[in-house]
Structure 1
Amino acid sequence: MKLKHVVCSALALLGCTVQAADKNEGAMIERGAYLARAGDCVACHTVAGGKPFAGGLPIISPMGVIYSTNITPDPVHGIGKYSELQFAHALRDGLRADGKHLYPAMPYPDYKGVTDADVHALYTYFMKGVAPVRQASPQTSLSFPFSQRWGMALWNMAFTSDKPYTPVTGQSGEINQGRYLVQTLGHCGSCHTPRGAAMHEKALTDASPLYLAGGRVANWTAPSLRGMKGWSSDDIVVYLSTGRNDFASVGGEMTSVVEHSMQHLSDADLRAMARYLKTLPPVPNAKSGLRVDAEAATTRTTKRLSEARGLDRGAMLYLNTCEACHASNGNGAKGIFPRLNGARIVVQDDPSALLDVILRGAQTPSTKKAPSILPMPGFANHLNDQQVADLATFLRSAWANEAPPVTAKEVTAVRKELLDFQHQSR
């Protein structure tokens, strides 16, 4: 009887151990799925209508078209044979299991700071929480010299860092959590930090005032995130979780970031990111793009549009194509139509993003907190380059806005980039 009790107790203990292990693994998979959302992995490694993480998405770069890889646990076409160490090298060093280098379209310079614990959670998720997909991705084939992957070793030596992420002493746990998410998994610097001639981020951490000082993605100008003047932490949280707030709506690559990544993060993490961004000093000597007499200038433009007197071509185009949604005062409708009066996308030095929206249009993503999709039509087929230039020039000088005029030549360049992008994406 005693032996029977011992055996039964041992089996019960084994059963409890297995259940605890399963529970721990389940929690680790859930944690890894959350981190993969924070890293926006699905956006680059999934084609529209395709299976998650199966790769094949064409990524347009100055070097040519780079195709994302299959990162499902398929042993032939995916990463199923990767050890955790090999996975970590790919994530943080841009080094494949076969020893070949990845191109920095994979933001490994930013992922360098991802902690070992988070790497383990991500590895567990991709190996045990993602369905394997037996699908080969198109081979990336760049022209010489970019086709020589070994050259990335030299690029890495020059432009990446071996320093691990370290919290800042004296800052709160919340600020440090936001800093970690922004600098590593969120890889915000990939778009919002200026790049050098070698297409490297000029800064990887906030030790440099160039970090998050504004960048360029294709023909889209990503604004500075330093300090986020005029926006409260709450405004930033609402923007990241819904794709819109009382000031702006997402456009360009940020639409995908909100749809696939930011809306899925906890309010606590979004607030940590927002409060961290608010701690960054603004770009030194940055132009505001706004008039000193902002209120009086807004009144003048509003009166001029309301009375429809003395309107130039740009103002007429605004009345006919924009005023119904964005209003005579340029303030739009809070949470629905973004304001143009004082909007960064309107007054920033490079008008490319503004021209992109006018030509291509935009729409907000459907998110959990704001499921309705708000579209803006594009006018590429309705307005010629001179008309787009006239409209953009009006927007950049109306109300409180004070930014340089736009030329038809600038519109032609953006239109060409859009057509090239559409052609390369096919």
Structure 2
Amino acid sequence: MKTFLRIIGGLVVLGIVCLLAFIFVPVQRSAPAEELAANWEPEPGQGEYVMHASDCVACHTAEGGEPLAGGRAIASPMGTIWSTNITPDAETGIGEWSYDDFRAAMVDGIAKGGTHLYPAMPYENYRLMKEEDIRALYDYLMAEVEPVSNEVQETQLKFPFNLRFGIRAWNWLALTHDAGFNPVGASELQDRGQYLVEGPGHCAACHSPRTPFMSQDGVTADEDSFLTGGVIDGWNAPALRGEGSAPQAWSVGELADYLATGRNAHSAANGEMGLVVEHSLQYLTDEDNLAMAAFLKGMDGAKVETPETVADAGPIVTPDPEADDAGRETAEMLISADPEMPLGARLYTDNCIGCHFATGKGAPGIFPELQDNHLVTGSETKPLISVILNGAEVPGTAKRPMTLRMQGYADRMSDDEVAELATWLRKAWGNDAGAVSASDVAAVRGADATH
């Protein structure tokens, strides 16, 4: 009863906050659009390139649907949000939108007619984009994308989240950065990478933590919490800075390779990151993926001045001898095939060792490492359980056209066995993460069956 009353009380307070926001908080709009030269025109292909860099396709295309015609279900803590049709269809898309309408959506989260967009649209990040890129994107969508008539399902969140005027208060708390890009000035290469990471790439939308108000805690590089890791629908978006992060442990070349292809000598992209590679990053130039990698590396102290030096930039941390010793011990135990091995190790030998090997190092560019793999050792166990149950797929890209698939073991292993294997993986080769229970596995298996 007390819990019920607390929930009701919280909803009442939130409703009052939304009402006060409607009365007292004005609609927040940024400065007017920057005046571009009267004869300004986007560079050939600029708008399409910005569309890819901004990852528009991944959210605005339903599974099996027409590109950019909307209808994709986006999970959020408040409920399911349905992405909009951004083709130039006059009835169901944005065909009647002016540039000012479009810019208001990108920069302030306000659609034509004054409707507040839910922040599943990452306008917190897009507001950092350059004016010419926003204009080029608008011109591309209006002139080069085929209009598609697609009436998207209306988003209907439960009270009080269905009261969109309450987003005024949220914007007042969240949009603390002026529109436009402010480079750190580390180097021309890193500044380009910073722009792509902060603005169109909206990396902080996943890889920064969230405040109690669910806004991004760290939107730009001058904030300490920027890219220090987040959780999206039960999946870890790992930290991209600090001790143990991939940019710290990998070379700039390895990181750029991962961005462009979803795979490198250490890891493979899964979940939402796989979609980012498939729909966005593979279409960027080598120079831009290198620039992003150089910027991410530079946040931890590596100095990369020119593209010519990027491929030679190595890790800024030295190998951990203790982790290497632990890795050797695990490998020797697996190779021994001792019948007294723990169940998790025996399950690994029966099902996994052929691809990931006794060392847990896998095959570079094909089978990812399991030692120090953030999917294996992350705070959220759902990703690892899901991969064991359902398998995984790394899509083919222009540079790596072969699609990689791992089979699932849902029909082969019980909940107890999956829990034993996952727990063992999180402790093997020097990994140091908590145990997985059979109930954890059952929850993921049940959710998959419902879905």
Please indicate the TM-score interval, normalised by the length of the shorter structure.
0.7 to 0.9
**Letter paired with 1:235:** E
**How many pairs were matched up?**
392
Distance in 1 separating the partners of 2:162 and 2:124: 20
1:170-189 mapped onto 2 (5 Å cutoff): 170-189=185-204
Counterpart for residue 121 of structure 1: 136
Counterpart for residue 139 of structure 1: 154
How far off its partner does 1:385 sit?
A: 2.3
Distance in 2 separating the partners of 1:266 and 1:304: 45
Distance in 2 separating the partners of 1:373 and 1:332: 17
1:20-419 mapped onto 2 (5 Å cutoff): 28=43, 30-226=45-241, 228-281=247-300, 293-309=322-338, 310-419=340-449
1:249 to 1:292, Cα distance in 2 relative to 1, 3 A? same
1:312 to 1:175, Cα distance in 2 relative to 1, 3 A? same
**Letter paired with 2:424:** F
Counterpart for residue 13 of structure 1: none
Partner of 1:65: helix, strand, or coil?
strand
Q: Deviations over 1:14-68 (max 9, x none)?
A: xxxxxxxxx985x546101000000010111111222111111111111111111
Asked whether the 8 Å contact 1:109–1:160 carries over to 2, the reply is yes
Partner of 2:45: helix, strand, or coil?
helix
Asked whether the 8 Å contact 1:291–1:297 carries over to 2, the reply is no
Partner of 1:66: helix, strand, or coil?
strand
Q: Deviations over 1:249-272 (max 9, x none)?
A: 110111110001000000111111
Partner of 2:226: helix, strand, or coil?
coil
Distance in 1 separating the partners of 2:183 and 2:45: 28
Q: Deviations over 1:125-174 (max 9, x none)?
A: 01101111122111111111111111111111011224133433542111
Distance in 2 separating the partners of 1:352 and 1:311: 26
Asked whether the 8 Å contact 1:219–1:356 carries over to 2, the reply is no
Sequence identity of aligned pairs in percent?
43
- Which region of structure 1 is more displaced relative to structure 2, 270-279 or 42-51? 42-51
Asked whether the 8 Å contact 1:226–1:277 carries over to 2, the reply is yes
Partner of 1:229: helix, strand, or coil?
helix
Partner of 2:249: helix, strand, or coil?
coil
Counterpart for residue 11 of structure 2: none
1:270 to 1:291, Cα distance in 2 relative to 1, 3 A? closer
How far off its partner does 1:377 sit?
A: 1.5
1:119 to 1:168, Cα distance in 2 relative to 1, 3 A? closer
Distance in 2 separating the partners of 1:351 and 1:360: 14
**Letter paired with 1:208:** E
Distance in 2 separating the partners of 1:183 and 1:294: 34
Asked whether the 8 Å contact 2:229–2:237 carries over to 1, the reply is yes
Distance in 2 separating the partners of 1:277 and 1:162: 21
How far off its partner does 1:225 sit?
A: 0.8
How far off its partner does 1:92 sit?
A: 1.3
Distance in 2 separating the partners of 1:169 and 1:340: 35
How far off its partner does 1:203 sit?
A: 1.5
Distance in 1 separating the partners of 2:113 and 2:421: 53
Distance in 1 separating the partners of 2:89 and 2:227: 36
Q: Deviations over 1:354-399 (max 9, x none)?
A: 2222222211111000000110122233322221211111111111
Counterpart for residue 7 of structure 2: none
Asked whether the 8 Å contact 1:351–1:406 carries over to 2, the reply is yes
List alignment gaps of at least 5 residues for structure 1.
1-22, 283-287
1:218 to 1:418, Cα distance in 2 relative to 1, 3 A? farther
TM-score by length of 2: 0.83
Distance in 2 separating the partners of 1:169 and 1:296: 40
1:95 to 1:395, Cα distance in 2 relative to 1, 3 A? same
Distance in 2 separating the partners of 1:248 and 1:65: 30
List alignment gaps of at least 5 residues for structure 2.
1-38, 302-316
**Letter paired with 2:54:** G
Asked whether the 8 Å contact 1:73–1:79 carries over to 2, the reply is yes
**Two-structure CA RMSD over aligned residues (Å):** 2.0
**Letter paired with 2:287:** A
Asked whether the 8 Å contact 1:165–1:180 carries over to 2, the reply is no
1:113 to 1:137, Cα distance in 2 relative to 1, 3 A? same
Q: Deviations over 1:306-352 (max 9, x none)?
A: 11113111011101111111011111111111111222222233333
Distance in 2 separating the partners of 1:414 and 1:407: 11
Distance in 2 separating the partners of 1:135 and 1:371: 31
Distance in 2 separating the partners of 1:99 and 1:419: 40
1:415 to 1:307, Cα distance in 2 relative to 1, 3 A? same
Distance in 2 separating the partners of 1:173 and 1:291: 33
